[in-house]
């Protein structure tokens, strides 16, 4: 089963972890396409990738077909509105992963049954996984330890 990635383009392009294009003349979305291809961030080549950008493209067209992704410029509406529409119209939202740091978008797509990924989680999946493992590995206090600590605090406060 292939996935469909819908990427809030300027969220990724403007993220501090996103490397600037080596070519100053290249459009930011072209640098994003190169980065997606180089890092294989969307997994299998069979996965469909749509990058949604605010506004109009330099050439005036609404869509640009790249080698790895389809670029959609939102035109008069915002990229967020376009992303919501794409998810809403999907017959299988469970096969969609939306990449955005916008909380409103993330809540919306999750409510529709799609997966929401933060930009950091998308760009650095290994680092994010390591952070999660560290959080899980933190030792928890036992009930007895909690009781002892509470008693010590109680004794200190009630002196």
Which residue range(s) make up the domain with 153? 4-157
* Residue 12 confidence class, pLDDT cut points 50, 70, 90: very high
The mean predicted confidence, pLDDT, of the chain is 83
Is the pTM here over 0.85, yes or no?
no
SS3 for the chain is: CCCEEEEEHHHHHCCCCCCCCCCCCCCHHHHHHHHHHHHCCCCCCCCEEEEEECECCCCCCCEEECCCCEEEECECCCHHHHHHHHHHHCCCHHHEEEECCCHHHHHHHHHCCCEEECHHHHHCHHHHHHHHHHHHHCCCCCHHHHHHHHHHHHHHHCC
What CATH number corresponds to the domain at position 125?
3.40.50
Q: Tally the domains of the chain.
A: 1
* Residue 129 confidence class, pLDDT cut points 50, 70, 90: very low
Is 50 exceeded by the pLDDT of residue 87?
yes
């Amino acid at each position: 089963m292939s996935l469909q990635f819908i990427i809030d383009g300027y969220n990724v392009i403007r993220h501090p972890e996103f490397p600037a294009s080596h070519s100053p003349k290249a459009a930011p979305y072209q640098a994003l396409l190169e980065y997606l291809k180089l890092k294989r961030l969307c997994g299998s080549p069979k996965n469909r990738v749509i990058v949604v950008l605010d506004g109009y493209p330099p050439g005036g067209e609404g869509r640009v077909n790249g080698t790895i992704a389809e670029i959609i410029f939102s035109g008069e509406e915002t990229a967020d509105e376009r992303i919501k529409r794409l998810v809403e119209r999907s017959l299988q939202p469970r096969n969609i992963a939306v990449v955005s740091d916008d909380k409103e978008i993330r809540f919306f797509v999750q409510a529709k049954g799609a997966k929401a990924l933060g930009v950091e989680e998308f760009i650095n999946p290994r680092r994010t996984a390591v952070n999660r493992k560290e959080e899980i590995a933190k030792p928890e206090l036992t009930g007895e330890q909690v009781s002892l600590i509470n008693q010590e605090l109680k004794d200190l406060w009630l002196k």
